[in-house]
Amino acid sequence: MIRAYHQPKALKQALALVAKGATPVAGATAVYTAKSEREQTLVDITRLGLDTIDVKASKVTLGATVTLSQIADDTRLPGMVGAVLRQGARALVSRPLRNAVTLGGNIAHPCFWADMPVVLLTLKASLEIQKAGQKTKIIPIAKALADKKRAWDKGLITRVMIPLDKPTVGWGYERFARTTNDYAFVTACATLRREGAIARDVRLVLGALQLRPFVVTLAAELCEGQEFTGHLLDAVGLEIAKSVRAAPNFRASAEYRQHLAGVLAKRALATAFAWAMREDA
């Protein structure tokens, strides 16, 4: 039950309302599809000027109310970071939904199948969080997602920053769902750098298995400094399938999704390595 709907034009006003317990919304898809009977006051944050994408040499800064369509269509987003961001945004296949769903909302109201948190965790993004009467905080997304107490409670995620300081790396993104429009069973995103036949700086994130995406440190442990062969990838896939935990749901059993995690992890890593080879060509 929505009791009031505010549309402030100043961030300060929005923060004051949120501090009093109002629910911030941008696309509002999470609130309006939930049809909650809980009494809520909504604060629409789409008129605060947080809908810009800024590309600098060292980082990309995305406003919290940037829509997934803006990201999917933005060819200024450079290199590997741009490609991974656009891929993650396009994973939400419905264009009108992409026109509504915002980056901040995708983080703040995390659906376990959401693609952008997977992408942002892979790219080592940081969140700018503002609260009424407090100094602005910058928190790595890995910390924000791991913390059960949500860092943005009673405040707002205002911007998302992604570093561009890495050398060129390869990337792979894999997602499996019953249909392109359906929620993912498993999502896997990998980045790495190549030195000859050796993989370096391997980073693998899995999503849709648990409430929040997580970094698979095992992938880096098994691949780092190793010759990148099919045999190695098979071993990594098997180890990941054995070690990850998946929450069962009505779409698939935990066992099936664990097996799938190994398969998709392997594919994402293989694609990332192939990209890295291509960069050299």
Partner 1 sequence: MEFQTTINGESHLIECEPGDTLYRVLRAGGYASVKQGCDCEGTCGACTVLLDGEAILSCITPAPRAAGREVTTVEALGHPSKPHVLQQSFVAAGAVQCGYCTPGMILAAKSLLDRERSPSDAQIADALSGNLCRCTGYVKIIDAVRDAAATLREEAK
136 binds partner 1 (CB under 8 A): no
Among 4, 197, 211, 277, binds partner 1 (CB under 8 A): 4
Structural contact between residues 44 and 7, judged by C-beta atoms closer than 8 angstroms: yes
Residue 268 has a CB neighbour count (10 Å cut-off) of 26
Asked if 7 touches partner 1 (CB under 8 A), the answer is yes
Does position 100 interact with partner 1 (CB under 8 A)? The reply is: yes
10 touching partner 1, by CB under 8 A: no
Cα–Cα distance for residue pair 91/177, rounded to 1 Å: 11
- 28 or 157: CB nearest partner 1: 28
Query: Contact with partner 1 (CB under 8 A): which of 49, 54, 93, 245?
Result: 93
- CA-based nearest residue to 246, from 231, 262, 232, 258: 258
Q: Does 5 bind partner 1 (CB under 8 A)?
A: yes
Q: Which is nearer to partner 1, 93 or 247 (CB)?
A: 93
- Whether 207 and 187 have beta carbons less than 8 Å apart is answered as yes
Q: Does 74 bind partner 1 (CB under 8 A)?
A: no
- Least separation in angstroms between residue 201's CB and partner 1 is 33
Task: Give residues 213-232 in contact with partner 1 (rule: CB under 8 A).
Answer: none
Amino acid at position 20, single letter: K
Distance (Å, rounded) from C-alpha 33 to C-alpha 35? 5
Out of 52, 134, 136, 181, which residue is the one contacting partner 1 (CB under 8 A)?
Answer: 181
- Among the listed residues 8, 13, 19, 29, the single contact to partner 1 using CB under 8 A: 29
Closest distance of CB 65 from partner 1, Å: 12
Query: Which residue, 2 or 198, has its beta carbon nearer to partner 1?
Result: 2
Among 99, 134, 136, 168, binds partner 1 (CB under 8 A): 99
Distance (Å, whole) CA 212 – CA 164: 24
Q: Which is nearer to partner 1, 95 or 245 (CB)?
A: 95
> Using CB under 8 A, which residues numbered 30 to 69 contact partner 1?
32-33, 35, 42, 44, 46, 69
CB of 184 to partner 1, least distance (A): 16
Q: How many residues bind partner 1 (CB under 8 A)?
A: 24
Burial (CB < 10 A; 0-12, 13-18, 19+), residue 145, is: buried
Distance CA 89, CA 117 (A): 10
Interaction of residue 14 with partner 1, rule CB under 8 A? no
Considering only the stretches 25-33, 48-56, 115-123, 218-226, report the one whose residues sit in contact with partner 1 under the rule CB under 8 A: 25-33
Enumerate binding residues for partner 1 (CB under 8 A).
Answer: 1-5, 7, 25, 28-29, 32-33, 35, 42, 44, 46, 69, 93-97, 99-100, 181
